Amino acid sequence: MEVSKLFEKLPIKINKFKTISGGDINKAYFLETKEGNFFIKINQKKLFPKMLIKEANGLEALGQTGYIKTPKIINYGEIDQFQYLILEWTERGEAKNKTWENFGHALAYMHKIEQPFFGFKEDNYIGSLKQVNTSSSNWGEFYGQYHLIPLIKKLKEQNKIEKYVVKNVENLCLKLNEIFPKESPSLLHGDLWAGNYMVSKQQEILLIDPAVYNGHREIDLGMTQLFGGFPSYFYEAYKDVYPLDNNWEERLPFSQLYPLLVHSVLFGGYYVDQVKQILKIF
């Protein structure tokens, strides 16, 4: 990418910039300017159309709840062949017990806000995959038809699974409304693992890289447990505000199935085995 040419056309004057490693989808840089320090991520606009605009929309949706902290959006858009998103730079700190308790409360309060439907105002991305967010009044229909089945079919097209696994998912989808307790739609971060939060020096947890939609809140909680990194007092604080029934952890395999399918499509291997293990009873 010819980023220097892009930087010359941005609406802020950059004094210095430095590459930030770690991202596998976008290029990221630290920007030093007279207005302050910023973070920018960049991609080709044709590679993942509107990805960074949709990410900005997701951050705005989370922030507008009044409970979840996200980095301040400075600017986003498209210039020439590029798309970009500029965020306020966050100086990192270390989380203390109280930090996690506050975040548990905040996530629960956000989840308690009743949304009008399952889905979202637009499709977006989870990782580098398109996430379909067609609206529905029925959680089982939304989760099954728009999130699970499209990915299991993609896995079959990639020859990573056998035909019977597709049938297993179809059988599961018929029972989703029995498996999950009936609840109003909640706004979800959608990809809530340990790599998608930051702790600021002010002891606040800020969420980044969202894949937002209105869904069942156990999906967010399931994702927090899939790869670890969230302490027990986070969950206790969450339940103090928005209690979970005693069987919620038994449903974790079904809450985690969607992100496992995403990882199976992108990376294959062990994730495919986990998907098959969850589905074998169907």
Q: pLDDT tens digit string along 163-209? A: 999 999 999 999 999 999 999 999 999 999 999 999 999 999 999 99
Which 3 state secondary structure label does DSSP give 40? strand
Which contiguous run of DSSP H or E holds residue 76?
strand 73-79
pLDDT of residue 4: 82
Q: Are 231 and 199 in contact (CB under 8 A)?
A: no
Q: Are 48 and 54 in contact (CB under 8 A)?
A: no
- Which one is catalytic: 24, 191, 220, 273? 191
pLDDT exceeds 90 at position 274: yes
Q: What is the mean pLDDT of residues 63-70?
A: 98
Q: Are 76 and 38 in contact (CB under 8 A)?
A: no
pLDDT of residue 104: 98
Which 3 state secondary structure label does DSSP give 188? strand
This prediction has a pTM of 0.96
Q: What is the mean pLDDT of residues 34-56?
A: 97
pLDDT of residue 5: 85
Which 3 state secondary structure label does DSSP give 38? strand
Q: What is the mean pLDDT of residues 232-236?
A: 97
Closest by CA to 202, choosing from 89, 63, 94, 107, is 94
CA distance 185 to 167: 27
Closest by CA to 90, choosing from 28, 46, 135, 47, is 28
Q: What is the mean pLDDT of residues 57-85?
A: 97
Backbone angles phi, psi at 3, to 5 degrees: -70, -30
Q: Which pLDDT tens digit goes with each residue over 104-162?
A: 999 999 999 999 999 999 999 999 999 999 999 999 999 999 999 999 999 999 999 99
pLDDT of residue 44: 95
Domains of the chain by start residue, with CATH: 3-88 (3.30.200.20), 97-279 (3.90.1200.10)
* Look-up of token digits 């989870």: 126
pLDDT of residue 109: 99
Backbone angles phi, psi at 129, to 5 degrees: -95, 145
Which 3 state secondary structure label does DSSP give 126? strand
pLDDT of residue 110: 99
pLDDT exceeds 70 at position 1: no
Q: Are 54 and 125 in contact (CB under 8 A)?
A: yes
pLDDT of residue 272: 98
For residue 191, indicate whether it is catalytic: yes
- CB within 8 Å of 6: residues ≥ 6 apart: 42, 79, 80, 82, 84
Q: Which pLDDT tens digit goes with each residue over 47-63?
A: 999 999 999 999 999 99
Measured between its terminal Cα atoms, the distance across the chain in Å is: 47
CA distance 106 to 112: 10
Q: Are 133 and 123 in contact (CB under 8 A)?
A: yes
